[in-house]
C-alpha cells in the first residue's frame, strides 16, 4: 500500500518461505546437479527462516516499543501491558513447541534420534537443537525474543542491533566460517566449548536475535516509502549475487561446519523485506496459518511419501527422483496444512477467515446492531491511497468512536491492512485504542487537560499544540512528549496563528517537546464555489509560508498534513506526509449529493439493523405511540422495531419523516420515535413477523437507505448521524 505499511507481500512470501524449508529437507535437485541443489537449498532457501524471524520481530516486538520515533536507535521498549503481550506470545509459542515435541516423539524414537539420551542432552535438545530436526526454530525464536526484549529494555533498538550483530558474527565463525576459527587455536577452543552447550551456532543466541531486531526496525521503527524501488531491487540483486558467491567459495574452501549463516545474508534480508513491504496487496490471514502448518507437518509428509512409495512399489519414482519427491511432499504438506487450518477455524465456530468469534456471531445480533463491511473498508483505503502520491500515508480519523463505526474494530482492521497512523479527538480515545492493542502513531487533535498529560506519556500519544501557552504547559510537564503543531491559517479554532512564526520556532527549542508534525485544517475544502476555492488556496499559501520560514531558519520540518476527506477529493495537489481522512474512509460524504457523486469510488462500510419485536393490528381511529401523535386513518398493520433515539435514530424522523426497510420494502415511521423502540407501518408488506430484520441504513432486497438519506430527512449531515450511533449498538465486522 502507498502508506508504506503493506502486509500482503509478507503473507504471500510466507508460503514460499515454507516451501523453501521443505526444499532444505528434501534436496529437490540432488538427482540432477549437486551445484544446483546447493544453490537452491543452501543459498536461496536460507532466506526462509530469517524471514520468519523478521516477521515475528515486526509483529510481536515492534508493537511493544514505547515510542515510535523515526530515527533508528531512539526507540525504547516499554513495560506493563505491552511486555505482557510478549509473554503471552511466548506462552503460545511454548504450547505449539510442546505439542510438536509430543507429535514427533514417536517418529524420533523410531528414527533412533534419542539413543543414549542423557538429561544434559535432553535439555540441550529442548533449549537449542529441537527434539526433531526442524523443531529447532521454536526454541530459537523463544530464546531470541527473550534476548532482544532484554537488550531493548536497557540498550534501545540501536544497541540491540549492535549486540545482536556481534552475536551473529560469533555465530558465523561457528557456522559457514568455522574453517577460519579452526585455524586459530584459541578460537577453536572457544567453539569447542560452545558446541558442548549447543551443537550449532544457528540458534536463539547467535542467529535469531539479529533478524528479530531487524524485523523491529523494518516493520516498526521507520518509514518505508522513502526508498526508490529500483535502488532497493538493485541492492537486493547485488547482495544475493554476493551471497551466492560467498556460499560457493566457502564450500570450495571447506570452511562450512553448517551453512545457515552468511555475511551477505543480512543485506539480502534487509532489501528483500523492504521489497515485500512495498508490495501493494491485501493481507491474507489464512496464508499465515497455512504456512505455519506447512512448516510443522512437512517432516511427517516426508515420512508419509516414503512409506506410501514402499507400499505401492514406486520408491524409484517418488523417492529416488528428488524433484518428484519434493513435489509430492510439498503438495501433501500444503493440502494437510490447509485442512488443519480450516478445521481449526471450524472448531472455533469460524465464519469468515480471519474474523474473531465476537465479530462473526450472528447469534449475538439480538436487539439492534451495526454491521461493518470489511471489504468495503479495505476498498476505500485502496481508493483513497490511489488519489495520493506514494509518499503520503493515511492518518484516519477514528474520533467519535470512528464516526459511530466502532473505533477499536476499525483501527484494528486498518492496522491489519497496513495503516499505522490515526487521529482522535481526546486522550481518552487514544488510551482506549492503546489498551486494545492498536499500533502506530495516534495524534490527539483536541485539547488535553494538564491533569491528563501523564496519559499522553504513558500511552505514547501525540498531542496537538493548540496555542503557545499550551505548548509551555506541555513542556513544563517535565517528561518527553511528542507533539504536532496546529497552525491556524484561517479557521480560527485551534492552533498558533500562521503569522506568529517566532512562537512556532520557540516550540522547536522546547527541550521536553519532540515536534513530529505541522498541520492546518482547511475549513472550506468541501465547497466548489470560487470563494471557497480561493480561501482554501489562501490557507495553503499561509501554511507553506510558515514551512518555508522554518526551513530558512534551520528547522527541519517534520511530517506535514493539510488534507481531510474533502481535501483529498477536491485538492489532491495539497497531499503531504499524511492525509487525515475521516468521513470518506467510511464510504460516505457529508451530504447525500456528495456521496452520490463518489459512489463509484467509495463504498459505505456501515449498515444499521434492528429486530421486529412484534406485529399487531391497528384499527381505523386508534392511536399509537406517545401523546397519541398518530391516529390510524384506516385499518393497518404496525410493527415495533427495537431501535430508538437512544441508539442515535433522530427523533425528528417521527411522524412519517423517516423510513425503514423490511423484507425489501419501505415502512414509514408511525408516531413519535421512542428512546428504545420505533413503530412503523408494515401494511402491505407480506409475512412480517417477530424476529425479522429491519434495515435503517443499508440494503434490503433491491432497496437501500443510505446514511445520506437519513441525514437529508433529519436536516443534518451524515457525520452527525453516524457519530451519534449509541454505544449499546453491537458492532460486528462482516
> Which residues make beta-bridge pairs with 624?
630
Take residue 558 and report the three cell numbers written for it: 517534520
Question: E strands along 544-625, which residues?
Answer: 559-561, 578-579, 606-618, 623-624
133 is a catalytic site residue: no
DSSP 450: G
**Strand, helix or coil for residue 416:** helix
Would you say the C-alpha torsion 380, 383, 388, 391 has a positive or negative sign?
Answer: positive
CB burial class (10 A; 0-12, 13-18, 19+) of residue 633?
Answer: exposed
Tell me how far apart the alpha carbons of residues 341 and 426 are, in angstroms, rounded to a whole number.
40
Burial annotation 68-90 (CB, 10 A radius, 16+ → b, else e): bbeeeeebebbeeebeeebeebb
578 is a catalytic site residue: no
State which H helix or E strand residue 454 sits in.
Answer: helix 453-458
Marked catalytic residue, from 114, 348, 362, 626: 626
Residues in the chain: 734
**Strand, helix or coil for residue 161:** helix
Marked catalytic residue, from 399, 470, 578, 609: 399
Take residue 709 and report the three cell numbers written for it: 438519506
Take residue 117 and report the three cell numbers written for it: 539420551
Nearest to 638 by CA among 677, 607, 695: 677
Q: How many CB atoms lie within 10 A of CB 541?
A: 11
Tell me how far apart the alpha carbons of residues 137 and 558 are, in angstroms, rounded to a whole number.
41
**Quick check: 393 and 368 in contact, CB under 8 A?**
no
Take residue 304 and report the three cell numbers written for it: 508419509
DSSP 657: T
Take residue 164 and report the three cell numbers written for it: 545482536
CA torsion angle 154 160 163 169 (round to 10): 160
End-to-end CA distance of the chain: 22
Take residue 450 and report the three cell numbers written for it: 494538564
**Strand, helix or coil for residue 728:** coil
Instruction: List active site positions.
Output: 399, 626
Amino acid at each position: 500500500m502507498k502508506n508504506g505499511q503493506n502486509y500482503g507481500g509478507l503473507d504471500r512470501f510466507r508460503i514460499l518461505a515454507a516451501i523453501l524449508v521443505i526444499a532444505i529437507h528434501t534436496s529437490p535437485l540432488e538427482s540432477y546437479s549437486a551445484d544446483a541443489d546447493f544453490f537452491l537449498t543452501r543459498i536461496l532457501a536460507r532466506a526462509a527462516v530469517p524471514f520468519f524471524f523478521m516477521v515475528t520481530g515486526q509483529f510481536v516486538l515492534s508493537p511493544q516499543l514505547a515510542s515510535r520515533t523515526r530515527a533508528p536507535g531512539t526507540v525504547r521498549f516499554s513495560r506493563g501491558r505491552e511486555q505482557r503481550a510478549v509473554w503471552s506470545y511466548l506462552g503460545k509459542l511454548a504450547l505449539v513447541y510442546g505439542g510438536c515435541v509430543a507429535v514427533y516423539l514417536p517418529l524420533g524414537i523410531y528414527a533412533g534420534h534419542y539413543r543414549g539420551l542423557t538429561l544434559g542432552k535432553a535439555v540441550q535438545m529442548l533449549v537449542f537443537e529441537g527434539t526433531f530436526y526442524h523443531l529447532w526454530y521454536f526454541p530459537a525464536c523463544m530464546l531470541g525474543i527473550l534476548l532482544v526484549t532484554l537488550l531493548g529494555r536497557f540498550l534501545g533498538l540501536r544497541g540491540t542491533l549492535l549486540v545482536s550483530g556481534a552475536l551473529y558474527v560469533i555465530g558465523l565463525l561457528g557456522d559457514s566460517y568455522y574453517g577460519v576459527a579452526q585455524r586459530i587455536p584459541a578460537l577453536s577452543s572457544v567453539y569447542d566449548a560452545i558446541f558442548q552447550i549447543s551443537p550449532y551456532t544457528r540458534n536463539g543466541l547467535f542467529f535469531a536475535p539479529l533478524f528479530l531486531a531487524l524485523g523491529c526496525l523494518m516493520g516498526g521503527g521507520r518509514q518505508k516509502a522513502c526508498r526508490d524501488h529500483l535502488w532497493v531491487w538493485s541492492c537486493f540483486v547485488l547482495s544475493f549475487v554476493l551471497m551466492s558467491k560467498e556460499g560457493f567459495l566457502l564450500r570450495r574452501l571447506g570452511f562450512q561446519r553448517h551453512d545457515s549463516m552468511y555475511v551477505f545474508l543480512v543485506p539480502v534480508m534487509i532489501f528483500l523485506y523492504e521489497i515485500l513491504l512495498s508490495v501493494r496487496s491485501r493481507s491474507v490471514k489464512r496464508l499465515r496459518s497455512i504456512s505455519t502448518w506447512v512448516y510443522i507437518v512437512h517432516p511427517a509428509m516426508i515420512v508419509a511419501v516414503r512409506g506410501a512409495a514402499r507400499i505401492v512399489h514406486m520408491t524409484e519414482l517418488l523417492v529416488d527422483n528428488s524433484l518428484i519427491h519434493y513435489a509430492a511432499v510439498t503438495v501433501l504438506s500444503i493440502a494437510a496444512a490447509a485442512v488443519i487450518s480450516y478445521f481449526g477455524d471450524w472448531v472455533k465456530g469460524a465464519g469468515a477467515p480471519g474474523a474473531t468469534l465476537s465479530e462473526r456471531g450472528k447469534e449475538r445480533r439480538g436487539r439492534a446492531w451495526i454491521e461493518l463491511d470489511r471489504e468495503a473498508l479495505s476498498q476505500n483505503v485502496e481508493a483513497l491511497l490511489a488519489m495520493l502520491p506514494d509518499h503520503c500515508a493515511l492518518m484516519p480519523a477514528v474520533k467519535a468512536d470512528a464516526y459511530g463505526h466502532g473505533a477499536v474494530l476499525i483501527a484494528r482492521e486498518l492496522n491489519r491492512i497496513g495503516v499505522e497512523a490515526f487521529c482522535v479527538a481526546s486522550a481518552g480515545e487514544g488510551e482506549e485504542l492503546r489498551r486494545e492493542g492498536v499500533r502506530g502513531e495516534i495524534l490527539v487533535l483536541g485539547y488535553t487537560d494538564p491533569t491528563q498529560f501523564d496519559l499522553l506519556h504513558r500511552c505514547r500519544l501525540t498531542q496537538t499544540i493548540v496555542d503557545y501557552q499550551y505548548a509551555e504547559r506541555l513542556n513544563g510537564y517535565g517528561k518527553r512528549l511528542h507533539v504536532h503543531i496546529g497552525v491556524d491559517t484561517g479557521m480560527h479554532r485551534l492552533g498558533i496563528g500562521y503569522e506568529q512564526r517566532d512562537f512556532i520556532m520557540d516550540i522547536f527549542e522546547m527541550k521536553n517537546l519532540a515536534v513530529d508534525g505541522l498541520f492546518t485544517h482547511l475549513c472550506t475544502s468541501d465547497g466548489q464555489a470560487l470563494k471557497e476555492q480561493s480561501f482554501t488556496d489562501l490557507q495553503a499559501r499561509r501554511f507553506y509560508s510558515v514551512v518555508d520560514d522554518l526551513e530558512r531558519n534551520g528547522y527541519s520540518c517534520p511530517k506535514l498534513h493539510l488534507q481531510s476527506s474533502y481535501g483529498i477529493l477536491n485538492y489532491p495537489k495539497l497531499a503531504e506526509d499524511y492525509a487525515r481522512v475521516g468521513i470518506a474512509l467510511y464510504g460516505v460524504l457529508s451530504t447525500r449529493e456528495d456521496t452520490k457523486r463518489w459512489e463509484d469510488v467509495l463504498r459505505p462500510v456501515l449498515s444499521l439493523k434492528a429486530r421486529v419485536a412484534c406485529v399487531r393490528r391497528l384499527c381505523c381511529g386508534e392511536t399509537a405511540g406517545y401523546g397519541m401523535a398518530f391516529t390510524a386513518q384506516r385499518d393497518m398493520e404496525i410493527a415495533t422495531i427495537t431501535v430508538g433515539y437512544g441508539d442515535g435514530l433522530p427523533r425528528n424522523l417521527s411522524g412519517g419523516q423517516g423510513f425503514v426497510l423490511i423484507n425489501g420494502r419501505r415502512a414509514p415511521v408511525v408516531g413519535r420515535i421512542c428512546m428504545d423502540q420505533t413503530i412503523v407501518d408494515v401494511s402491505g408488506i407480506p409475512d412480517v413477523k417477530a424476529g425479522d430484520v429491519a434495515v435503517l441504513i443499508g440494503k434490503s432486497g433491491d432497496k437501500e437507505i443510505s446514511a445520506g438519506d437519513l441525514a437529508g430527512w433529519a436536516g443534518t449531515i451524515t457525520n452527525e448521524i453516524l457519530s451519534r450511533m449509541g454505544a449499546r449498538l453491537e458492532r460486528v465486522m462482516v
